[in-house]
Amino acid sequence: MNQQKLDTERIDFLTKECKFDQTLEKSISSYKPIIEYIMAVITSKPVSEGFYGLYTMFIDKFGPRPAGSKILEDAIDYMKDLTHTSGIHNVTTENVLIPHWHREYESVKMLHPLMKTIKVLGIGLSVSTPSEGIIADVIVVNSFDEFDEIDDTKILGKIVLFNAKFTSYSETVQYRTDSAVRAAKKGAVAVLIRSITPFSLYTPHTGALMYNAYVQKIPAAAVTLEDADLIQRLYDEGEKIVIEMFMFNTLNSEISRNTIIDLQGVKQPEKLVIVSGHMDSWDVGQGAIDDGGGMMISWFVPVILKYLGLEHRRTIRSILWTSEEPGLVGGRAYLHKHYDELHNIDFILESDEGTFKPLGLKVAGSNRTKCIIAKIMELFPPIDKVQFVDITGSELSLFIDKGIPGASLLNKDDQYFWYHHTDADTLTAQNMDDVVECAAFWAAIAYVIADIEVDLS
């Protein structure tokens, strides 16, 4: 990510697109001292160590928190109790019906041209193989276009390896979500997917897939970049490749909960500024980056502002989503339940792309909203970048689709997808100073948005 380019983008946008009256400009710049105060308190030794200690304790106590698991429900209870002991009693949970997919057993082996164990992670929501397993020849393709060209008779009864190189997440993730349906339509018996990552130390990456009610459901598993490359080389050499797959997963419905923490505003308490992250994770690693960090900094916003006794105009609502990973289930349930009150949401913040060094915000909304946010961001150097991009595939995107303005935490996430949905998503991959800086920025920006005179929606 080119940080200088982002700086220029903000300046260009402000000069070309934005006009401010003097009162608003003055009002925005008046927040400078309070921003510095909030950030200085959070980055001070006792507060930063206390905050990071809570984060560490949470991650190590619960570890991975898959949707539908008892561990996730225990983690939700724990955060609820922690909110009370931190001095906020306005905390509620709302029931959500969620899918509980459970990985029981998986084993994939190459039988020909050589015997080799292939390390895999089944794709979340995947069906099982038949109990006797699947043994089939492998076809390798690099793209959907290439796959579509192949005659159906050649796909029938085969395992297809979708070996698409990582470009961007939003582009490449289609191979994880859509391959099973596309391959089944042409008669394949299972799919293997090159993990959605630009880098690998032999780590397969899980994540959710989507089935189609009218198409046969076939099993899907992610392989490492190393094995995808190996299979590709053998295939290119004309070898017949035979793979054996065993996968056993279960899927049922459970009740989980979104957690909602309110810190009341003083002048327009009915108006909401939401700050959010998700509590669940995949069943591998520790869910420290995705989304332990984002959840924890969002939880901390009302807690620290209450502790500091800072009044703000609108209510700050921290939401810890449940069941984001199997398909934004918590966010959808919230939208459904609160449909009549959506007009009260002034702005929504979400952190679900890592808590590496904070850089600024990715913003979606009207030009007027973008102008005000860009102007506010001038008060946060060096965390003052703004990026105007489409926000897709997150809880935040559901709200943006409803016309509510919002922003995601822009951070130095160049390595985010190295860890994403793997056993390597642990606290070891996090850096205390960076996470604390994220927490400081997050609380300060939420405060300004919640207090500023003009509405953003």
Q: Which residues bind Zn ion (CB under 5 A)?
A: 290-291, 352
Other CB atoms closer than 10 Å to residue 149's CB: what's the count?
9
Strand 159-162 and strand 190-194: the pairing is parallel
- Tell me the two tokens of residue 447: 């405060």
Closest separation in Å from C-beta 411 to Zn ion: 13
In the complex with Zn ion, which residue's Cβ is closer, 155 or 208?
A: 208
- Name the DSSP class of 125: T
Q: How far apart are CB 280 and Zn ion at their closest, in Å?
A: 9
Closer of 58 and 447 to Zn ion (Cβ): 58
Q: How far apart are CA 16 and CA 24, in angstroms?
A: 18
Alpha-carbon gap, residue 242 to 227, rounded angstroms: 14
Instruction: Note the residue count of the chain.
Output: 457
In 3D space, the residue among 96, 292, 122, 322 whose CA is nearest the CA of residue 208 turns out to be: 122
Catalytic residue among 324, 325, 350, 395, which?
A: 324
Q: Which is nearer to Zn ion, 139 or 396 (CB)?
A: 396
> CA 168, CA 145: separation in Å to the nearest integer?
18
CA angle 437, 440, 444 (to 5 degrees): 140
Give the shortest CB-336-to-Zn ion separation in angstroms: 21
Nearer to Zn ion by Cβ, of 169 and 441: the residue is 169
For residue 132, give the DSSP letter: T
Q: Please say which residue, 79 or 161, places its beta carbon nearer to Zn ion.
A: 79
324 flagged as catalytic = yes
Nearer to Zn ion, 65 or 194 (CB): 65
Query: Shortest Cβ distance from residue 245 to Zn ion (Å)?
Result: 27
Whether the upstream peptide bond of residue 291 has omega within 30° of 0, thus cis, is yes
Token digits of residue 449: 């948005």
Nearest to 259 by CA among 443, 95, 398, 59: 95
Dig out the tokens for 278 from the structure. 């998700």
User: At closest approach, how far in Å is the CB of 33 from Zn ion?
Assistant: 34
> Considering the complex, what minimum distance in angstroms separates the CB of residue 171 from Zn ion?
18
Check if the beta carbon of residue 107 is closer than 8 Å to that of residue 219: no
Q: Which H helix or E strand runs over 92?
A: strand 91-112
Indicate which residues carry an active-site annotation: 324
